[in-house]
Amino acid sequence: MSPSPVSRHTGSHHHTHEPIAALPGGRSEPSAGGDIDTYMFLPRLLPAHRLLAGGSLLLLLPCRNRIALRPAAVAAAMSSSSSSAAAAPPAPARRGTLRGVVFDMDGTLTVPVIDFPAMYREVLGGEAAYAAARAAGGGAVDILHCIDSWGPDEQRRAYEAIARFERDGLDRLQIMPGASELCRFLDARKIRRGLITRNVKEAVDLFHQRFGMTFVPALSREFRPYKPDPAPMLHICSSWKLPPNEVIMVGDSLKDDIVCGKRAGAFTCLLDETGRYGPHDSLPEDVKPDFLVSSLPEVLSVLEKHFDLAPVFAAGL
């Protein structure tokens, strides 16, 4: 699967349009040319930006809201005001500045080993309760959110069951193919890397120790509120002294990782190894990522193709 940018869907969002402008901080400008053959969008809840791509053109529109732009509208916005028959070529597009990457852990940096359906069945009390929770959640179960509403005794029993499944997973912990190479790539370019997981701190510590790579900050579920709340992402951006629009969230969960990143105003990249989420165009608007990849090496390609990777010392950090 090749990386899929956000510009492949065609429906418009309910927010209003703001003027087109280039994102501050962009540097290199790829040569323009080719036809714009896709519709382009801006995700909602954005305080600063969204990445758009079409043909060989790359556009950054710093709007808060999403709007569908048909090819003719994009061409008109970029064309010269000259009335001559020979129209001037479109102005070169600016690339987004990227200074930090935040990863999910389970299923992103590590190979999935926890049997989550079995865990949910045990915690919730059987198949019927699990099915009811899935139906209430639109096909997904936020088990931590469910537990938060329970009494102390029920919570204790639930967390003990979850801890047992997670300990079993730690015994089989494996690094995701391409993770080490991606981290070396980021380190060589002095791009910060952090981690947000709904797993426990013990699992994060073991991950750091076993694979010899450290993510700072590394927030486990002891940090509240956890994903999909944007608080963990905003906390990391604040600790880095970077705006969210210079950071990307990479994870394998639409409802947790992508929603967390989108709500914070960061770029988002969904890792879907098996194609379980289907085509990019089919994803609901409120969880649609900027990029869709099937492997971590593809994440590296996305970063090189669509961003100016700005080392942290360039920002005086």
Q: Which residues are catalytic?
A: 104, 106
Contacts of 246 (CB under 8 A, 6+ apart): 25, 96, 97, 98, 99, 100, 310
Residue 165, classed as helix, strand or coil, is: helix
C-beta of residue 211 within 8 angstroms of C-beta of residue 178:
no
Residue type at position 8: R
Residue 58, classed as helix, strand or coil, is: strand
* DSSP for 60-83, written as a single string: E---SS---B-HHHHHHHHS-S--
Q: Which two tokens stand for residue 213?
A: 């790579």
Q: Residue 22 to residues 99, 101, 289: CA-CA distances in angstroms?
A: 18, 22, 21
C-beta of residue 256 within 8 angstroms of C-beta of residue 264:
no
C-beta of residue 128 within 8 angstroms of C-beta of residue 195:
no
d(CA 169, CA 163): 10
- Return the closest-CA partner of residue 224 out of 160, 170, 147: 147
